[in-house]
Amino acid sequence: MIDMTLLLEEKSGEPLYFQLYQHIKKDIIKGKLAAKTRLPSIRALSSHLHISRNTVESAYHKLIDEGYVQSRPRSGLYVVELELDKLPTSYLSRRRPFETSKQDITAVQYDFRYGDVDVAHFPLATWRKLSNQCLQSEQVELFSYGDPQGKTGLRVEIAKYLYDSRGVNCSPNQIIIGAGIQYLLSVLSGLMGISNNSIAMEEPGYDGVRTIFRHNGFNIHPIPLDKDGLNIHKLDESKSRIVYITPSHQFPYGMVMPIAKRIQLLKWAADLDGIIIEDDYDSEFRYVGKPIPSLQSLDTNHRTVYLGTFSKCLLPSLRIAYMILPPDLLDLYNKHGYRLYDQTVSWFHQKTLELFMSNGHWETHIRKMRNIYRRKQSTLIETIRELMGEQVTVIGQNAGLHILLRVHNGMNETELINAAAQERVKVYAVSPFWEKQTQAETSMVQIGFGGLSNEDIVLGIHSLYRAWFYPVNTSH
């Protein structure tokens, strides 16, 4: 049986019973009330809607007479299974506000969105088994708020993993777990804002992070890039004492900062008593060469904040990220009441991830996903080169889950995106990544590949080729 809530208008000119009858009939026709659904009793519905029993009874009788419901002795009224193909088309063509038409669903056939991941290879059975273990009665700690910094066991696993994979030196006590990088950066902004009000960022750089800093009152100093990453000389000229950087896979261009420049940057921070915010957002997925140690692992002066996330390796919807604070900022975190902030990540998800890591599933999953994404990226690059050749330039192909594509066909960014949409393909703008958007490249788009199958990658690139080059080719 279902509850039924609606507004009956006593001054509408239509009897209340007829309004009720119309409402129920429309819900049956539209499928909101499915076949075999039991309607509320006359007494229950009259009490719920504050109308007389006679009103409900009259509406029900009309529904019975017209064959929308049937009465079962000593059981109640039930919706009849209708032959919808025999109903007038005017009934079937109406859509409820929350319905999505088939046309809406298929409007985009190939979505090259960065941030989508390969959900088909998520170890759901293993995750479900570990989640069920967390729901055992002895896991009483999972029913409390828990430590504001995050579950101790998970922080221990993260510290061990980062030391082995990225050389990061930290104790579990330095790690703060939070629901995404943006949340953690908001906390960090509060800590840094106590004595600073400006921050340097790569130009171009991640616009989502730029927005967080701006919302927290920071002035943004865009620092141009060299071929090997951030221009240290321009950083020094900016007079900022804080810099946010993605050195292992610059976002969005993809270059890797070499060891010599990393040492320069660390010297800059030490000389100014500055802060480096190292966002290592997808360091697991490097396809060419050996990974360079993280900045944090090279920092003997403890001036680096290290950020990482599980969104690219597991699922974005889990909302699990982490931040490693150097001792000075950790002292501020404790002194200024940040431990009063409630933990934002589900305690169940934290415990499940702890078990996932401690039982060895995490390392296995990373190895598998690295191979899967390497094949996808190879498929993407090979298809682009086969079809488009020197008509495009691929940028940032050594790591990560996206590339940039500079297209040499005379179209600007908006025209490229619109032409792709005509072929039911979605590619993404790059210009928002510039603080000074007038300096952004005008014929470039971002292409993510994590969420598409190899087959769809090939078909999607063929569609882009038709969208961007086929009219030119057929003119000859």
Q: What percent of the chain has pLDDT over 70?
A: 90
The answer to whether 343 touches 145, Cβ cutoff 8 Å, is: yes
CB-count exposure of residue 430 (10 Å: 0-12, 13-18, 19+): buried
pLDDT digits (tens, 9 = 90+) for 221-276: 999 999 999 999 999 999 999 999 999 989 999 888 999 999 999 999 999 999 99
Q: What's the pLDDT score for residue 437? A: 83
C-alpha torsion angle, residues 295, 299, 302, 305 (rounded to 10): 0
Residue-level pLDDT at 446? 96
Contact 263, 276 (CB under 8 A): no
For the chain, the average pLDDT equals: 87
Question: How many CB atoms lie under 10 A from the CB of residue 366?
Answer: 16
Using the predicted structure, report yes or no on whether residue 469 has a pLDDT greater than 50: yes
Is 110-117+364-474 a domain of CATH 3.90.1150.10? Answer: yes
CA triplet 216, 222, 227: central angle to 5 degrees?
140
Whether 106 shows a pLDDT value over 70: the answer reads no
CATH code matching the domain that covers 122-359, chosen among 3.40.640.10, 3.40.630.30, 3.90.226.10, 3.30.379.10: 3.40.640.10
For residue 446, the 8-state DSSP code is E
pLDDT at 94 (0 to 100): 46
- Residue 245 makes CB contacts below 8 A (sequence gap 6+) with 201, 202, 229, 230, 257, 265, 276, 277, 278, 279, 295
**Segment 406-416 mean pLDDT:** 95
Quote the CA–CA distance of 354 and 157 in Å, as a whole number: 7
Q: Which residue has the tokens 């038409």?
A: 101
Domain boundaries defined on the chain? 16-99, 110-117+364-474, 122-359
pLDDT score for 105: 41
- Reading phi first (left if > 0) and then psi (alpha if -120 to 50, else beta), residue 310 is in alpha
pLDDT single digits (tens) 296-331: 999 999 999 999 999 888 888 888 999 999 999 999
Give the model's pLDDT for residue 22.
87
Laid out side by side, the sheet with 198-203 consists of 175-178, 321-324, 304-309, 275-279, 242-245, 198-203, 219-226, 229-230
Token reading at 409: 């066909």
Range among 122-131, 288-297, 465-474 with highest mean pLDDT value:
122-131
Which pLDDT band holds residue 6 (cuts at 50, 70, 90)? confident
* Residue range 16-99, CATH number: 1.10.10.10
- Chain center to CA of 209: 14
The predicted structure's pLDDT at residue 261: 94
Q: What is the pLDDT of residue 425?
A: 95
